[in-house]
Every structure is written in structure tokens, then in C-alpha cells.
Structure 1
Amino acid sequence: MTSNPTTSLAQAVAALDAVWAGASRGGESDAQSAVTSMTDAGILAVNEALAAVRRQVDALHVRVAAGIADRSRPELGSESLARKTGHRTPARLIAATTGGHAGDAARLIQVGEATAERALFSGERAPSRHPHVQAAVASGAISVPAAAAIAAMLDKLAMRVERAVLADAEQTLVSQAALLSLDELGALLQRAQAHLDPDGLEPVIEDLHARRSLKVREDRDGMIHLNGVLDPETGAPLIAAVDALVTRSLRTNRGHNRLGEAAAGSDAVAGGASVDGAERTSGDLGKADSVDAGAPGRRGAAMDAAASVQIAPSVLDDDLLEEFGRPVAEETRTLPQLRADALAALCRHALGCDRSGSTLANTTVIVRVPLEALTTGTGVAEIDGVSQPIDAGTARRMCANAEIIPLVLGADSEILDFGKARRPFSRAQRLALEERDGGCVFCGLPGSYAEAHHVEWWSRGGPTDLTNGVLLCTACHHRIHNDGWEIRIETPPGAHATAGVVWFIPPPHIDPARTPRIGGRARFDWVQAA
């Protein structure tokens, strides 16, 4: 710990100055000219240095914010510092100074108070309630919003979970938060809370189910408005079915796939495709900026069993695929429009369909639940594509209602490695890759938008094995190959391939040091403390 609280900030500013000087050509008269002259690697380095400075500024600001709040306690009345300066609350005082929102100022106060040392009745000083969060904020490892989210979740469980367990969880969350965006951290905290307090999950799911609704109205222009709020159990089949049709349309109409190929079981089938480098070129999957990433990853701790729920086979037959997958001259629909058309197509088909059987058998809702939880009905389960965990009882009900068959990955009846015997990845391999990767291993898009991809191209001798496969959306697939990223898969000795970790090695023009970046579910998985 440095003696001067501003030393770390001064060091971060000095580092920024050095990085800026190295990234710009020198002699520029303004910041815009300097930025324009920077290489890609240079501007990325400056961005990281600026983020480090911001975190150090916030680390000091939380201390000051907590001090202002302490001097503005309600019991001080007219002597409150906030009131003396003409503000009703300390948050409004700080917001008036920063020019930001009162909510942002309140977050500074929250983190400052949660990480401050405490005064005991004896007059002695005690450590902060969240020492790991405090250390991470002070060092600039995590942002203030991340610290606030972690502290709030831990405080919510303080009366229900043992202190030692929460302390271990805090340390784990802080280490993971340093690698995550705030959205990714939110998904992680949902899973962590469910696993730390599984008894509290069932009433949460029951409350969500009770709040489900769908309202329909027609406005004066003749437009039909749907306002739906669905709980995970109710919404999961809708997401799976709509996304399956949207993905099929994007791959068919914006790429080089054709319905005949997909229906015949080619690599182009949504949810079970295989694509190798330049061996097959397909259009960008709606482009990265037009596909909703949602809550990335959407995975939980490693599961022993995966339950696969078939979506009403009669709803996804040849007629529906023909309607939504036929080639067109030019696909101009936006992603929201595609989803609206997919929902309408499903409803039209359901009204008039009297046949069974499906050519899209791999359109499923995957419920991942530990074998013990599936047997006992106690524990935590997850639905692929939905960030909110569910209790084991809900998972068992979904199994019963949909007549699902629990699938134990790696069982004798499922061959997960085919070597050179076949090129496309099998459905069993696909499930195993989703268990490991949690969707696109690079950007985190849900698995419905991802394809199974050979790391070492099949045409160049790469086997169709889990240790040579990753899930990538089309946009990331092309980005990795075009920009020269390398992929490495590390599996602990003796562990199953689904326990592997995927690493990406950036090209020199992105990162001269070529620092490996972890990918897939390993970035945001919640691993219960032993």
C-alpha cells in the first residue's frame, strides 16, 4: 500500500502518457490528429491505458464519495454537508459536480461505504465488509459498477449464506470480473446467486412464472402490438423456435446455403453445422452489429447431464422451412423483422398443420441439470439461451411435460470423437461443444447462431474430434481467419474434452505481445468454491 493515495493514479497517468507518445507519430497539434495517426495496436493500447486511469480515478472517488455521504447523514440536519451546499442528498451533490446522473453518484457512495473500514463500538477499526472488492477497486482491477454489482449480490445473501462461503465467493467473483463486461458479469452473478442460495431460487422462479403475460392490441394505424413478459420456462421454447427459423433464413438468404442442401442433412443445418476455414464461405450472420448478443454465454457450472427438449416437431416441418428458408433475390429484413415473420410463420403453421415429423430435429431447448438434481429435485439447472437459472423442480417439470430424454454426455451410446471417419460434427458432439463453449466461443452469441468449426481444417487433416472443434458464429469465424487469430484448446490431463478451455492468440497487429485471451464459458462460468 502506497503512503500517498494519489500515487497509483499518478502512475497510471504516467503510463498513459508513455503509451500515447509511443502510439502517435509525434508533432500532432491536437488529440484528433494524434488518434488518426495511430496504428490499430497503438489505439488499442491507449484505450486500455485510459481505462486504467479511469478506474484509478474512480478508486479515489469512492473514498471521497463515502466521506461526503458520512458528512451528510440525515441526523445531522442543517449541518449536513449536502444541505449546506444546497443539495438534498449527497448523491445530488456529487452529480452536480461531475455533471453525471445521481444514480452514478449513488453507486460511488455505495461502493465507498461497502469497502470502507468499519468503526466498532469499542472504537477499534475493523476491515471492510468486502475486502476483496476493496482491494480490486483500489488496484484498478475492476470498475466501480462491477464492484457495486458484486457487493449488492453478496449483501442480498448475507443473512442466508455462511460468511466463509460468501468470502470465498467474493474472491472468485472479483477475479472473474476483471475479464468481463458489466453485462457478462450480470449473467455470472445470476448463476452465482443461484448456486450459493439454491433454496432461494424456487420462489424466484415461481414469482417470475406468476408474472408472465401477453397483451395484444391494435392501434389506430392498424398495427398489432404484442407486449409479452415470459418466465424462463415459458419463454425458452419460443426463443428456440424463432431463433431456429431466423438462423435458417440468414444462412440461406445471406450466404450460399440452399434449402435443399440443409433439408438433406448437409453441414448447413442450423444448430448442427460444420464449416472449415475457406472450404465453405457463407454470408455474415446478419453482421455483428445486427445480431443481438443478449446475455453472453448463458452457461453455469459444469453439469453431469444434459436434458434435450424437442420443440413440437409438427411446427417445424418441410412447409415451414420452405416458407422461411427459400432463397430470395435479396434479403433486406432487419433482425427484428425476421423474428416477427418467424413468429407469424409458426402461428400460421400451427393453425393449419395436421402432420408430424420434422426436418429440423436439432431445434431443441437444452436444459442442463446435474444428474443428482434431476433425481432428487433439489439443486440448480439452466436453460441454454436464458441467463436466469431455474430450480431443479422446474427442470424436472419441463422434462415431464416435454417427454425429454436425459442425455449424459460421453455415455457409451454416444461417440463423441470420430477422427477422420466423417467431416460434419454429430449432434452428440454439438451438445458436448455447447457444454464447453456456451455458444460462440469468441463473442458469446447463443449456440443457435453458432456452427461447429474445425480448428485444424478437415481438408488439411484435422480430425472431427472435440479437441479440434469450437463453436463460432459466422461473423467471428470469418474475423478469426481473415485477421489471423490462432486458437488453442487446453484440456486438463485425464479430464473429459468438455472440460477444455479455449484460448485465442491475437495477431501482432492487434496485440504485439500476442497475449492469450480466454474464450467461451470459462470466462464467465461460476465455479462453486470447494
Structure 2
Amino acid sequence: MRFPLADLRDLVSVLGDALRQPLGEESQRALSDAELVDALKVVEELGRWTDAARLGLAGEVGRRSEPGATDITLTTVFGCDNPAELIERTTQVSNTTARARLRVARAITSRATLTGQRRPAPLDHARREVAAGNLGLDALTTIADGLRPLQRRCSADQIVAAETELVRAAVGAGGEPACSVYELRIMTQTWALHLDPDGTLADEDSERMRTFRLGRERNNLFPLHGNVTADVAATLQRLLDSHLNPRIQDRALRFVDSAADEDSTGGDDESIHDPRTADQKRHDAFAGILAAAAASVSSPTLGGAAPTLVVTVAEDQLGRADGVAFVDGPDGELPVAATFARHVGCHGTVHRVALGANGRLKALSVLDRTFNHWQRKAIGARDGGCIIPGCSVRAAWCEIHHVVEHARGGPTDVDNGVMLCWHHHRTIETSGWEIRMADGIPEVRPPTWVDPRRRWRPANRVLHRELEKKAQPA
């Protein structure tokens, strides 16, 4: 049967004209309470028909993209790496939405065997209800995700029995009211416990259920989701501990007036508290771990080079306090503060690209402002770690900061470089801390809320001085 594409286009046009007025703000406000609830039901029913068509087409895209399904896979014809990319580019939805559609569509898409015979969909009863406009996307996703892990461990008859009862509950068959998605999830979990009470071995389950993904951007923040195995969790915990655990002899930051003896209780003695929460500290430690991993020689390369974060900023924006830069994020270009671009510029190679009015590449200049391996070793031996008082991040996890900015003529040498952790490097322009070099030794000046007199102080720790104190006889 030929697909009525022309009729479908006409229907979309007619529906658009028909819904334009009812969906207007004034029309919606004129609805009574009962009419508003009825309108929700009608529009949701229309949405179920749309979702059914979306899933059906997504399933066909996935089927034609499988190796061997056709002489040339669909993704190859349209120059895409995978079916999700094809759906994303065609429909302008996010990659996350495209992958979710493909995942659910597999459960209601039939397949052909090598002999050409048609195999029913894994959840064929659900497929029929979706096609009839009775089963919504959320309910279908709940059933499919709940039964998918059981398909390899339970018989086909058991899966069909569970699917039938779950679909009946979701659509309200037999005159019963349809259950909510929350209730459906509980029922799905109950069926899973009934069909597979023992489950699989713990180590097999953990390997099979391991996940890690980066969520969608919200307010310039990205959630992380996943489940990691015990060894990965232990490794990450050790790395975080190496950042967060304070030094045994320096558990609290105390400023002692230079005129007073360090061992005395008199003098001008002040202490401060790190204002970051525990979760914020873990975030900053994780950022330092990623930065160190990206710079490691053992990290895999991308295009022959180490993994590199590309930051784009206009020259007139770079020096402004409210300037804007852009980074290449998971879902496209993301705006960030120009301070971030200056922070990244301290420990990266700057690529300046000049474009013509028509977008043609006119010039490419490369300026290396990175401290080399030996300079980093020397600065690490001098500073021992982040120089901000009270910070316990060690040298191996720190970044090198230009005391006098490279853009203002500051040289890339050991007398102009100091060690800062990811957090203090990123906030050095806004936190109130100031840094200067005095005879080749870094000094810091706290913000007003730490020291109202804002006196210059020695750096957090100078490694060779600590070693000298330990070597001195008692």
C-alpha cells in the first residue's frame, strides 16, 4: 500500500490552520474549567497519533540503517554516521530525543529474517495500541524499558503475558480507568520481580547495567547521569580524595602577622573558611582531574592531537569584564564569560583565525603560551601546589597561571608562572585574590572579607621551605 505522503502534507496544513486560533492565548483564556480539561484530552489524543507516526518512521529509519537491510544503508545514502544523526538533522530535534525515539521504536518495529520472513515486533501488542492512538509515548517507554532487560532471561510467552497485562492497564481496557505512568512503572517492576526473582549474578548485572552520559544543558549547567562499576567508583573516589583531603599539618588556613613568632599565640591571627559546599568542591576536583587527563601523554588523541577544548572569542570581547566567549558544547556552541577564555589561554596554545567578509580563511597564526614540561617541573618544585592559602590541591593536579597576563606582555617563564587549582584559576579575576612575584617568589593578597587590611602574604606553601623545616633538628 502506497504511503499517502501528499495527503499527510495537506492534513498538516489543515490542522495548522484549524489549531492556530484555538491555541492562541486569548482563546485559551476564554475556556471554562471543564472546557480546558477537555481541550487537554483532545490535544493529547492528537499528540498520541503524532507520536505513533514518529515512532513508526523512526523504526523504519533504524531498520533501513542496519547492515544488510538494503544494498546501501539509509545513513550512507544521506551521509550520516548513524540513524540518530539522520533523524536529528531531518527533524531538528536534539540527539537525545532522536536516540530515545530509536530506542523505543525498536520495541514496536517488526524485523525480517535472512529468509525474508517477517518477524513480529518484540512488543507487538503495544505496537497495535500505539498504532490505534490508545497508548501514549510515556507509557510505551515505561513498558519497553521495563521489559527489555527480561527478554534475554525469560521465555517469549512470559514476556507476552507481562506485556498484555501492562498494556491493558495503560490504556484502560475492559472499562477500567487507565493507570498513571507512575502506577505503570510500579506494575512493570512487579512483573520483573515475578518473572525473574533471582535476577542475574551481581557482577554480570553491574557490567550490563553500567552507564554514563552527559545530560542536556539547563541554565548553562549539564547534569551527569549513570551507574559505574565498583572499581571505577573506587578509582574516582581516590582521585577526589587526593584533591579534597587537607594536608595533615595544614587543615585550616591561619594568617599570622610576620612581626609575631609563628609558634606564639599572640599577634594578628586570622582564619578563614572555604565558602564552597562539599558538592562544589567535588565538582572543581573533577574538573581538575579531567584537565590533567586531557593533558596526559597516555590520553587517546583526536585527529592526531590531544583532546582540545576550542574557545572562540572576539578580540574586543576578550579584555572586557562582561565579555562573551563560546565553547564547543555537546549540543552546539555555548556562551561563556570571557574570563573563562582568559583562564584557558593561560595553559593552552592560541590559534588566531582571520576570516574574510565572505567567510574565507585569510590567515592562521599560532601562538604558544603554554609552560613546557621542565618549566612546570620547576614551578611545581617551588610552589608545591595551589598557592592560594588553605587550598590543598597538589602540584600534579594544578594549572600554571601567568601572573602578568600573556595578552599584556607577560612572559611564559618560571618567574611569571604560579600554580593554581582549577577552582582558584577560574575565579582569580573575580574572587578578590591578587598575586605578585617578589624576587621570584609568589605572594598573595587576600580579598577584603578575608583580610580587611589586604596585606601581601607568603604563598600557601613553598615546598623547599617545608622540607628545610622537617630536616632541622628538634
Place the TM-score, normalised by the shorter chain, in its bin.
0.3 to 0.5
Higher CA-based Rg:
2
In the superposition, the TM-score normalised over structure 2's length comes to: 0.38
In the superposition, the TM-score normalised over structure 1's length comes to: 0.34
